[in-house]
Amino acid sequence: MKEKSTNKLKIFFAKCLYAVVKHFPLSDGRMSFGAKRLRRFCARLALPHCGENVNIEHGARFAWDLRVGDNSGVGVNSLISSNVTIGRDVMMGPDCMIFTSNHGMSDFSVPMWRQKSTKPRPVVICDDVWIGARVIILPGVRVGTGSVIGAGSVVTKDVEPYSIVGGNPAKKIGSRIKEKVE
């Protein structure tokens, strides 16, 4: 009985977050009126894991199984599919999209729009990652600790820890680890 009431409460706060709170002003705007705190409060009650000091920005849309670590943020107007884990200390720019499945297209006898979606493949964003504005991350990708993804990139493969990637498709363009000079 207690579990049933807990689920109803989670659903209530999830609906509040989607229906009302997501439309509150930007977190750091002059007229925010505590919007950041209210979105965080609802997210902590609605999500299976929502760490300390999490910032869910204005207009963000995400599945209710999203897991977010301490000091991380979901960018303005971002879209995050089901089965995504965001680690600690992750910065996300506006308009990012993270997908975990795709449209089916293997059966030529059926129009693509009528085919079932592909099997979901989880996306993991490790700790201390910076995701630039308008980044798209595709199904099954793991973004390694300490990585930077340049604005507008389309990430189709795993990103090594401490890498700097950019482009479409995203490729390694640098490293945050400096080589030892002898």
Identify the segments of the chain with pLDDT beneath 70.
1-34, 179-182
103 is catalytic: yes
Q: CA–CA distance from 182 to each of 36, 179 (Å)?
A: 48, 9
**Which residue's entry shows tokens 């505590």?**
34
Per-residue pLDDT, 180 = 45
Q: Note the pLDDT of residue 3.
A: 53
Provide CB contacts within 8 A for 147, sequence distance 6+: 126, 129, 130, 159, 160, 161, 162, 163, 164, 165, 176
Quick one: which H or E segment has residue 143? strand 142-143
Specify the pLDDT at position 29.
56
Work out the angle at residue 81's Cα, subtended by the Cα atoms of residues 118 and 44, and round it to the nearest 5 degrees: 145
Assessment of whether the complete model's pTM goes beyond 0.85? no
pLDDT at 84: 97
- Say which of 23, 49, 58, 103 is annotated catalytic: 103
Residue 69: predicted pLDDT:
96
